[in-house]
Amino acid sequence: MGIPSAVSVGPRNSYGEIPVITSSQVGLPGIITAPRGGVVVGPDQFNGHRIQLDDRLLSTPAVHSGAQLTDVVGIMDYSFSNFKLNVTQAVTIASNALIREAATIAAGHIGVASYNVENLGGDASTARIQTIAAQINNTLGAPNIISLQEVQDNNGATHNGTIASDITLGRLAAALNAQTGSTYQFVTVDPINLADGGQPGGNIRQASSTTRHASACRQNLWAAHWTPSAPPPAPAAPCS
């Protein structure tokens, strides 16, 4: 079957799937379209008209949400609770205009951000460390205070009793400092081995990274990283 014109309602995922609706369905009564191209679930509307383009037979193009696609031809399929169109010819991208947002921190303001490093351990590749640092620098605007989640210990998922994360955080701080020209430092509380969930052996925890401009409160950030398995250190004096 073929779809002469379609709109992606989400980006292509890691499985090569692109959720789409036909262009003629955009704006119809009862269909709620988000500003960035997605479709929104509403009363009695679960978007049953949405299908997924699948790369089972032919690769799908890398597109963002809201991309305009033409010449969509393939074989209908159904799996994992989704109707899918296994494309059999190259999909034409008419437009793919959505641009990733990047934060800008105005002069005289302090930037605060949160970032999930997704099980980043001290044994991570240099390329991954540099990529995370580049996203914090370029996409998040090099915030003065950043809270990290899922920081693993120094040897990642290796289970040998290691709980410290100074190597993990030190490598990321070095990459950040080199890219931003700033001085990031970290505060964290090491958990008790295997007591806080996450990938076995990884001992994930939170950490806060601050630049020198926000360092007045650095020692008081311990409270954000307390875990039930580890008693927090004594707090520092109040921020001035």
* Whether the predicted pLDDT of 150 surpasses 60: yes
State both tokens at 222. 């311990």
Please give the full DSSP string across 51-110, using - where no structure is assigned: EEEE-SSSPPP---TT-EEEEEEEEEEEETTEEEEEE-SPPEEEE---------PPTT--
Mean of the pLDDT values across residues 72-80?
Answer: 96
- Which pTM value belongs to this model? 0.70
Compute the mean pLDDT over every residue in the chain, rounded to the nearest whole number. Answer: 89
b (16+ CB within 10 A) / e for 162-195: bbebeebbebbbebbeeebebebbbbbbbbeeee
* Whether the predicted pLDDT of 91 surpasses 80: yes
* Whether the predicted pLDDT of 221 surpasses 60: no
Architecture per CATH, 112-225: 2-Layer Sandwich (3.30)
Mean of the pLDDT values across residues 190-215?
Answer: 85
State both tokens at 160. 């040998």
Mean of the pLDDT values across residues 84-97?
Answer: 96
Instruction: Tell me how far apart the alpha carbons of residues 48 and 41 are, in angstroms, rounded to a whole number.
Output: 10
Among residues of the chain, what percentage have pLDDT more than 70?
A: 88
| pLDDT, position 68 | 96
At 6, which helix (H) or strand (E)?
Answer: strand 2-8
Mean of the pLDDT values across residues 62-72?
Answer: 96
pLDDT, tens digit, for every residue of 95-145? 999 988 899 999 889 999 999 999 999 999 999 999 999 999 999 999 999
Give the closest residue to 3 by CA, choosing from 98, 92, 96: 92
pLDDT, tens digit, for every residue of 46-62? 888 999 999 999 999 99
In the chain, where are the structural domains located? 2-95, 112-225
Give, to the nearest 10 degrees, the angle between helix 166-180 and helix 126-134.
Answer: 50
